[in-house]
Structure 1
Amino acid sequence: MEEYKSKKVILDYFSLMNILKTDKKWMGVFVTIAAILGLAVAFGTPKEYQSSVMLAPETATSNNLTSSISSLASMVGMDMNFGNSDDAIYPELYPDLIQSSDFLVNLFSIQVETKDGALRTDYYDYLKNHNKKGWWTAPARWLHVLVEKLTADDVPYQGDGNKVNPFRLTKEQYNIAHNISKNIDCLVDKKTSVITIEVTDQDPVIAATMADSIRNRLQTFITNYRTQKARNDLAYMEKLFAEAKEQYVKARQQFAAYSDANQDVILQTYRSKQEDLENDMQLKYNAYTQVYDQLQLSKAKVQERTPAFTIVQSASVPIKHSNKSKLSVLLTFMFLGAVCRVMVLLFSRRKEIFRIVASEPK
């Protein structure tokens, strides 16, 4: 009885090399066509510029200011909870924050100006009406519009004029916000917590403008978040201070008027009334000074909670575009053309290139 022999397919490299040598004509045709497409893509791709900004956020640690304010607060019998880190937004969450709809729609109204100064408009209008697109995207865009018309079951939400509602964006607003999100990249170094914001646009000045604006708005958002409670407390203390001051001034005026009107009176009833007014004025003054101290501490609390950002690298107008060089695009397409021709040969002449051999049983 013959032993069972398994079969396996192997690639005959010698046959493949011989076929490639005799296929120079068609290989040249494929590479030439790919080169033409590569040149069309290289010259038809709009130039893009990238601008970046780097900043280092303040770490949540106690400092001399915190210790001094805490000591002052304890002297007046207050517990201001200085130095406690209750932040829910850490640097690692900044990329998600920048990609949120609320943050993106706030970028619509930023005023931008092109490098040549010929156009000055808001960022929304720039992306909608003045952004160039590659010629090869025209069929896809036309097909997309056609499919939308054929498959639309209801009237899309049109919004309210020029107002933007992050809760319910129009389709156009959503697309613009999506394009902005693709133009922005936020990276956080986990070791150093350094934040890098990169913005890519078709105009170098607009790219730098948006990078700096996003950096500024991120700082503003984080500052407002961290100081929200402290600012609310400060507003409340300012209200109490105004009321305490008004009551003290009123009590002082009453005491002064009564004293002036009864300077020569020696009756005990008048003296008792005067002492009552003086005591009331003193109580109002004590309350006034105590609220004043609390007001100063509330102001210090806001300052203590305000984060400090160190700008490691500010935004600058890029000189060179960030696109791949035309030569690299050309070589990539030529390589892909050669690969396509090889794949065609591997399929059409597979019987010559691949051989089935029987392997000896173990």
Structure 2
Amino acid sequence: MKLKDTFTTIFGYNRFHRIKLSDIIYKLWTHRSLIFKSLCLGIVIGLVICFSIPKEYTTKMQLCLEKNNKTNMLSGSILSELIDMAITPDAYSENLYALLISTPQFNQDLLNIQVPLSKDNKNKISLRQYLDKEQSKAWWNYIIDFPANCIELLIREDSDNKPGTSYMPTLRDAELIEELQQHISLSQIESTGMMELEVELQNPYVTALLADSICTRLNRYINNYRKAKAITRYQFSDSIYNESKHIYLDTHSKYASYRDSNQKISNNYNKLAEERLKTENNIAYTTYMNSALQRQANLNNVILEKPIYHIVQPSYISAKASSPKKLVILSYCLFLSLFIPSTWITFYNTRHSSK
């Protein structure tokens, strides 16, 4: 059997039959009523989709990260060097900020903030209530989620209704946290090195306030971590300072007592002993002064609350919805409504005509 006959047997028509462009145009023109009906149906479906998807507003904030530069106020001094030594790299690097704001504990705290529903800021509710009552979704999502919601109501335990904590949130809070994580994103702009925070919700006032609250809480979270680390370092340096002070006072007292008791005695043994006590006293004094400077440097780090970034572009209330993109949805629907019937008319009729 030839290859041409094989294809004809398998596919039911001769695939090597040449299709002229004029034949295709003629077939499409002959079935123009079907194509027109399909286009009308595509427009209706596209409009239904566009007006069924709730509007969402986006707020973007650009943050310039603060670098840990060395101090220049006391350049060249011992205190300056010790302060620079006290500034250690953070465990939370800038690459982990996006992971930090997506943690359940961070989002659990966001659920308790009060957000306005209008411009006058009179009607305020918690973000938990807003996500639970005010956020809507397309009607087909309710149909898709209906079986899962019924099963969830049947298997829900009474313990889920108890108040949750940051370590063990309730089942509903866990769902709201998961939903909130989908509306928040933090990324780094490679060209400028800045961070861009993007929040997308259905209320522009809630979106702007939530973006500002995320920046405030992220700054507070990192500063609390730095302060806890600085306190630990200060407590350690304070213990070393007290110990070195005690050693210095002890060696200084021994050296002074020895000199007072051996002023009129002049021999090699007394001179060597005095030199040894003097050297020990100098070493203890140097250790004592260095520990005092290190203690003061760590105390400055405890007192100082340094911002982790500067806000280049603050949060704003968006006047235009970012989604749904109606023109894009209509374009896709029109393309499919034109492509599907045209393909069916061309190849289906060509197959039957070539049998």
**Same fold, judged at TM 0.5 (above):** yes
Residue matched to 1:87: 90
Shift of 1:294: 5.8
Q: Distance in 2 between the 1:326 and 1:188 partners?
A: 29
Q: Distance in 2 between the 1:340 and 1:164 partners?
A: 53
Shift of 1:160: 6.5
Tell me whether 1:21 sits opposite 2:29 in the alignment.
yes
Quick one: which amino acid aligns to residue 51 of structure 1?
A: T
Cα deviation 1:63-87 (Å, max 9, x = unaligned): 325857x72277xxx7982344x32
Cα deviation 1:290-325 (Å, max 9, x = unaligned): 998665332223366835411111111111111245
- Sort the Cα spacing of 1:237 and 1:71 in 2 relative to 1 into closer, same or farther, 3 A: closer
Quick one: which amino acid aligns to residue 141 of structure 1?
A: D
Aligned partner (choices 26, 42, 48) of residue 40 of structure 1: 48
Residue matched to 1:331: 331
- Sort the Cα spacing of 1:52 and 1:346 in 2 relative to 1 into closer, same or farther, 3 A: same
Quick one: which amino acid aligns to residue 134 of structure 2?
A: H
Gapped regions of structure 1 (runs ≥ 5): 243-285, 357-362
Q: Distance in 2 between the 1:71 and 1:218 partners?
A: 34
Tell me whether 1:71 sits opposite 2:75 in the alignment.
no
Tell me whether 1:194 sits opposite 2:194 in the alignment.
yes
Q: Distance in 1 between the 2:2 and 2:338 partners?
A: 44
Residue matched to 1:260: none
Q: Retained in 2: the 8 A contact 1:157–1:171?
A: no
Aligned partner (choices 96, 111, 114) of residue 114 of structure 2: 111
Residue matched to 1:139: 143
Gapped regions of structure 2 (runs ≥ 5): 8-14, 243-284
Residue matched to 2:124: 120
Count residues in correspondence: 305
- Sort the Cα spacing of 1:238 and 1:346 in 2 relative to 1 into closer, same or farther, 3 A: farther
Tell me whether 1:60 sits opposite 2:64 in the alignment.
no
- Sort the Cα spacing of 1:169 and 1:32 in 2 relative to 1 into closer, same or farther, 3 A: same
Tell me whether 1:170 sits opposite 2:178 in the alignment.
no
Quick one: which amino acid aligns to residue 131 of structure 1?
A: Q
Shift of 1:175: 1.5
Residue matched to 2:162: 161
Residue matched to 1:245: none
Q: Which shows bigger deviation, 301-310 or 133-142? A: 301-310
Residue matched to 2:341: 341
- Sort the Cα spacing of 1:62 and 1:295 in 2 relative to 1 into closer, same or farther, 3 A: closer
Cα deviation 1:337-356 (Å, max 9, x = unaligned): 22332344366435159x79
Q: Distance in 2 between the 1:293 and 1:60 partners?
A: 20
Tell me whether 1:50 sits opposite 2:51 in the alignment.
no
- Secondary structure of the residue that 2:231 maps to in structure 1? helix
Q: Retained in 1: the 8 A contact 2:83–2:298?
A: no
- Sort the Cα spacing of 1:333 and 1:184 in 2 relative to 1 into closer, same or farther, 3 A: same
Residue matched to 1:258: none
Quick one: which amino acid aligns to residue 333 of structure 1?
A: C
Q: Identity, % of aligned pairs? A: 23
Q: Distance in 2 between the 1:131 and 1:121 partners?
A: 13
Quick one: which amino acid aligns to residue 58 of structure 2?
A: Q
Q: Retained in 1: the 8 A contact 2:163–2:170?
A: no
- Secondary structure of the residue that 1:106 maps to in structure 2? helix
TM-score of the superposed pair, with normalisation by structure 2 = 0.71
Q: Distance in 1 between the 2:68 and 2:348 partners?
A: 67
Cα deviation 1:125-172 (Å, max 9, x = unaligned): 10001112222322112233235467x5xx447346333334x33332
The 5 Å alignment of 1:254-273 reads: none
Q: Retained in 1: the 8 A contact 2:55–2:324?
A: no
Residue matched to 2:264: none
Quick one: which amino acid aligns to residue 173 of structure 1?
A: D
- Sort the Cα spacing of 1:103 and 1:48 in 2 relative to 1 into closer, same or farther, 3 A: same
Shift of 1:51: 0.8
- Sort the Cα spacing of 1:347 and 1:180 in 2 relative to 1 into closer, same or farther, 3 A: farther
Q: Retained in 2: the 8 A contact 1:66–1:82?
A: no
What is the RMSD of the two structures over their aligned residues, measured on CA atoms? 3.9
TM-score of the superposed pair, with normalisation by structure 1 = 0.70
Residue matched to 2:134: 130
Q: Distance in 2 between the 1:47 and 1:87 partners?
A: 40
Cα deviation 1:15-45 (Å, max 9, x = unaligned): 4333222221111112112211221222232
Q: Retained in 2: the 8 A contact 1:51–1:208?
A: yes
Shift of 1:331: 3.2
Q: Retained in 2: the 8 A contact 1:49–1:200?
A: yes
- Secondary structure of the residue that 2:90 maps to in structure 1? coil
- Sort the Cα spacing of 1:227 and 1:139 in 2 relative to 1 into closer, same or farther, 3 A: same
